[in-house]
Amino acid sequence: MIASAPGKIILFGEHAVVYGRHAVVSAINLRCRVKVKKSAIFKIKSVLGETGLDFDRHPYVVQAVRRFMEVKNIPGAEIEIESDIPVGSGLGSSGAVTVATVAALNAEFDGGMDKEDIFRMARQVEIDVQGRASGIDPFISTFGDSWLFPERKKVLMPFKFFVINLGSRSTAEMVRRVAELREKHPEVIERIFDSIDAISLEAAEITSEDRLEELIAINQSLLRAIGVSNPEIDRTIAELERKGLRAKITGAGGGGCIFGLYRGEKPEGSFVVEPEKEGVRIEE
Ligand code: PMV
């Protein structure tokens, strides 16, 4: 059986969401496909190599197998992963591979799990591998669509986005840096989080491209203020601004991806994504 699940793009609210503020997140039309075939042994194949149940190389897939085996004991499986989603750059590749793996195991071995069960197991896997996590990625990869968090209210997002990938970075490291800055200047940083919160709430109701672009620019300035931009991001965004475009970090920052509203002009080095309605699905 093959299952696929979409990646995600955080449109507004990263970092602030860690401190209880709102975020707006969309599933995107880049998917991860996982093929699972019954076998006497475990074999995992991906761009990261071909392994057995090697947690160091394939942590999310191996942990998904372990959790699935608490539901149903299986002797082995051949697992093949293929993904459109760049790894480690904030577009939800880990969440998508986890959800697709659980769904494909469930389909191949008749695990009897529904979507809610798949989401819960993928969320547990994310916690097992990363420690504390918001659960946004497995939620989006399971259910698709665009949402306001934490209340999980669906939002309309009739726009396309250009994305520029500036390379991988560590989410945990960026979250730690923000925590340190907040320790030093709690009054200042909390107010920035409140402003980001207001941006997410406004964005969840928006239908105008111009207004959305204004929020993109404001949110980026606030992300810069909390120290998660870097000179390369600043330079790239400044170049885009010279061409009349607006862009911001998506995800943890310090590298990773930046995005802006796609209005028919694709900046050099970018690719275009659009919100995806469909979450995890069985392909065959
Ligand atoms: O870059 P990503 O997809 O790992 O997103 C991180 C988002 C943060 O708000 C920075 C952390 C979180 O857990 O929400």
Ligand 1 atom 3, closest CA: 90
| pLDDT for position 134 | 82
| pLDDT for position 153 | 97
Sign, Cα dihedral of 76, 139, 92, 30: positive
| Residue 228 in contact with ligand 1 by CB distance below 6 A | no
Tell me the C-alpha distance between 234 and 6, whole Å: 28
| Residue 91 in contact with ligand 1 by CB distance below 6 A | no
Tell me the C-alpha distance between 234 and 78, whole Å: 44
Q: What is the distance in A from the centroid of ligand 1 to the CA of 116?
A: 22
Q: What is the pLDDT along the chain (284 residues), one digit of tens a residue?
A: 999 999 999 999 999 999 999 999 999 999 999 999 999 999 999 999 999 999 999 999 999 999 999 999 999 999 999 999 998 888 999 999 999 999 999 999 999 999 999 999 999 999 999 887 789 999 999 999 999 999 999 999 999 999 999 988 888 899 999 999 999 999 999 999 999 999 999 999 988 999 999 999 999 999 999 999 999 999 999 999 999 999 999 999 999 999 999 999 999 999 999 999 999 999 97
Rounded to the nearest 10 degrees, what angle do helices 59-71 and 115-130 cross at?
A: 130
Active site residues: 137
| pLDDT for position 137 | 95
Ligand 1 atom 5, closest CA: 251
| pLDDT for position 22 | 98
Name the nearest CA neighbour of 15 among 187, 271, 244, 250: 250
Q: Are 85 and 91 in contact (CB under 8 A)?
A: yes
> Which CATH architecture describes the domain 1-284?
2-Layer Sandwich (3.30)
Domain ranges of the chain: 1-284
| pLDDT for position 126 | 94
